[in-house]
Structure 1
Amino acid sequence: MTISHSVETHAAHIAHEYKNITAMSKLEITPDNMSKFHRFLDLLSNEHGSEFATGVLAQPDIQQIKPGIQHLFSQASSLYERHWAQRLIQSEDSATLLRQEYPYFQHYERATGLEINAIYSLANEPVKNVLMVGSGALPLTSLALLNADLVVENLDINQSDLMLGKAVSEALRPDKNMTFIHNDVCKQDQLQQYDVIWLAALVGDEKIKDQIIKHLFEHMRPGAQLVVRTAYNLRTLLYPSIDESGLLPFALKLKVQTYADNFHSILIAQKPV
């Protein structure tokens, strides 16, 4: 099989599985639907090399369906988070349910642990106060930050998801409170108190992300860090991605591209002092 044929074949498989998902009678969490999503996600593995991924992404069929894939994945991710948020809230032992049954628990633990270690290593001053932008209905990153003894505030534009996230937090950590703010981050001007701001991967499309980066730079204090969850290679079909140039005028301090089972790559930048 030639490289070009391999690329074309892989692109055709992606288009086929996407068609199977869009043909579902209803977007809901069922074993059959989850199997379709898993088959689709397997095709977008981070293990594919950059040259191969570039070839797949350049295929006309893929370019045509890319906006639809990102929109669908955003909807499905929100639905999946709400599904698990409700399960955790209703459980008599939410902590055990999360650790033993939530499929991506270890992913969040490892990814957030990597980010926390990085921001401590890069910080010029002690890190204490953080803001999670796009905390959603299942604020597992925020809870990991809380467990690392950071003071966490959560912000989300979707009030119902924010309140679900608050209920999840109360179920999992009734002994510690986090703050929950309902707002558009581009209307949140009081940002000088945060040592680090986390930006979730699914917050906004590429255009909105550019607006958010500009707003954060204007209102964050000098020396504060920005953690941006993004994607590369075939994963850019799922997430609105941002690259190093998209972070300007922040100063890029670290870039982590994941090749295993992590869903997002990481950019850490700092507002120059």
Structure 2
Amino acid sequence: MNLIKLDAIESTNDFLKEMSRSQIVENFTVVIAKNQTKGKGQMGATWETESGKNLIMSILVKEVLKDIDEIFHLNVAVALSVIKALEPLNLPKLSIKWPNDIMAENKKIGGILIENSFKSDNKIESIIGIGLNVNQINFDNLPKASSLSLLKEKEFDLNEILEKLFFQIKKQCSLLLSNQHDFLWNEYHKNLFKLNTPIAFSDNENNQFMGIIQGVNFEGRLEVLLNDDSVKTFGVKEIQMLF
């Protein structure tokens, strides 16, 4: 593993992105930080963490995605990588909340942010940011957050979790490269949070409604069965789960 360790950084994603702009960076290079002052989440949300308590990492992935239509395949592979890495810990109700949150017992324990760039040779380069709550036990004003330590009542070795996660990312990416998309998507749906369960939603105009998650399509849109028996798809900025 080509690993770069930092004490404090605004964003590991931004650091790795800038590094790849200025030099040739080995595929699957990993950057980790003890503290991240401007961590980013979906739709510009911030992610705050206690220094040295959690796994804060970014990994460069290139030569995996072949074209723009495969963008969400990588999201699927990475989310599954986190699930597979954590499965041996026997966390309660481990699941993937669309589009990129990692849940355990209805609490968020991690998040993923993938930033893709398209090079002049039409190749796609991806910076995968993963934040995983490991040994942090205080989550003031975050009632839906938890950590591995809180769930299992013990401390974990961050390096061991990093190694397991790195192994799984390379493994799931190899499945992508060998065109095993159907297998990855089947595994993704098996682990999808609230699949086939009635749940309340809010749209971008704050209208609330009930629906049943049917799955996620290849474009990364959530498929929801509505009360009138129609199935509607929603993008990331169009809908929010209320639970």
State the TM-score, normalized to the length of structure 1.
0.26
Point out the structure with max Rg over C-alpha.
1
Question: Which protein is richer in strand relative to its size?
Answer: 2
